[in-house]
Copies of this chain bind each other. A is one copy, B any other.
Amino acid sequence: MSEERFDTHRESVLGRADVEDTPELVKYYQDLTQFEAGALWTVANKIEPWEPKSDSVPVVWRYRDLRDYVLRSVDLVSPEKAGRRVIYLNNPGRQEVSAAVGWLYSGLQVMKPGEAASAHAHSSSALRFIMEGRGAYTIVDGHKMTLGANDFVLTPNGCWHEHGVEADGLPCIWQDGLDIPLVNALEAGFYAVHPDLSQAITHPVNDAVGIWGGRGLKPTLHDWQKPYSPLLKYEWEPTYEALSAYAKVTDGSPFDGVIMDYINPLTGGPVMSTIGASMQMLRPGEHTKAHRHTGSIMYQCAKGEGYSIINGKRFDWRERDIFCVPSWMFHEHVNGSSSDDACLFSFHDLPVMRALNLYREEALAENGGHQVLL
């Protein structure tokens, strides 16, 4: 064991560990291992970094690349055998945990008309953002919701849920977003298949929107104590209307343009405990400034085209393209059109950052707030 080195993380900075290996120390370190122990100063600088350095890398997943593969899965595997036909997004830095970025999972799911997946429940919180097709629906704890393009729907932690496409619909593709990697890492994941493989629809179709979708209104009768939004479905039309109305009375965020968070209308808080979601509008020609923050974000272009600069590298996107911004990387967004707005849907783990008091944000100070392309 003479070659084993314990001093590979030294830093010659006051207040940091800077201990050189000696034969006596190495012997001491080796002795400690028999007691499932070690000397902190051999790892302190490694486990207490000066600032976050994400394992994830920025990636753009182009829909024109993936769409055919997604559709091919319909012929390659049956839903019975595959469970769900999903092409998942596999960040090169996070393959071990099958994450798209940080601790977030994402995939593109496809279903044919007349298909229905089996019902299940899990500790992971899930969302879907509809990309194309007609006739998609989701059932959550007996509430059936019909879904169109750019609609956003929740299937929270612990709810029975299943997806399907009506027989008279068209093949549907949507983006799934989940916290599977986080829940696994926290060693808190349970999974259950519904005993009947499908649920009864026990409420009027789209009742969540009828009950909880009033603007500044809530039903006097209904109470809601669960830790996620009762609204469940956020349709594209009122979302785009809200952004447009808001755009008229705001200067917007320097970093994100006209941006709104999907909320639990009873708390003003995020839609689920572990995943938040937002929709932002970049006005014609808008080029935002760069900032960085803790927490990971998955974006999907819902409308228009443009590009983002992430840690100095440009990533072009157009409608349906997906890209990610890892934790603590500078990012800025550009609408590529001087006449039309562009809209980015995003989901992220900022609710986790905030619940654990780990959110931190920083604007880029140099160069007028814009990154220099590498």
Residues in A lying within 8 Å of B, measured CB to CB: 13-19, 24-25, 28, 31-33, 35-41, 43-44, 46-55, 59, 61-62, 65-66, 69, 72-73, 76-77, 80-92, 97-98, 102-103, 105, 107, 118, 120, 122-124, 157-158, 180-181, 183-194, 197, 203-204, 206-207, 209-221, 227, 229, 231, 234, 238-239, 242-243, 245-246, 248-250, 252-253, 256, 259-263, 265-268, 273-274, 278-280, 294-296, 326-328, 352-353, 355-360
Whether A98 contacts B213 by the Cβ 8 Å rule is no
Q: Per a CB cutoff under 8 Å, which of B14, B187, B217, B359 touches A118?
A: B14
Q: Per a CB cutoff under 8 Å, which of B107, B219, B246, B359 touches A246?
A: B219
CA distance A204 to B92 in the complex (A): 47
Whether A189 contacts B41 by the Cβ 8 Å rule is no
Whether A352 contacts B81 by the Cβ 8 Å rule is no
Residues of chain B within 8 A of A187, CB atoms compared: 52-55, 102, 294, 296, 326-328
Whether A40 contacts B185 by the Cβ 8 Å rule is no
Whether B40 contacts A84 by the Cβ 8 Å rule is yes
User: Given the known A-B contacts A17-B81, A204-B249, A263-B216, are A190 and B37 also in contact in the complex, defined by CB atoms under 8 Å?
Assistant: no
Whether B259 contacts A219 by the Cβ 8 Å rule is yes
20 contacts between A and B (CB under 8 A): A17-B81, A17-B83, A18-B81, A19-B81, A38-B98, A41-B82, A47-B98, A47-B181, A48-B122, A50-B192, A186-B327, A186-B358, A188-B359, A204-B248, A209-B245, A214-B242, A216-B265, A217-B243, A218-B261, A266-B268
The 9 A-B pairs of least Cβ separation, nearest first, read A214-B242, A266-B268, A15-B193, A40-B86, A187-B327, A210-B249, A207-B249, A188-B358, A41-B82
Whether A69 contacts B191 by the Cβ 8 Å rule is no
Residues of chain B within 8 A of A77, CB atoms compared: 19, 25, 39, 41
Whether A260 contacts B217 by the Cβ 8 Å rule is yes
Shortest A193–chain B CB gap in Å is 4
Residues of chain B within 8 A of A204, CB atoms compared: 248-249
Chain B residue with minimal CB distance to A214?
A: B242
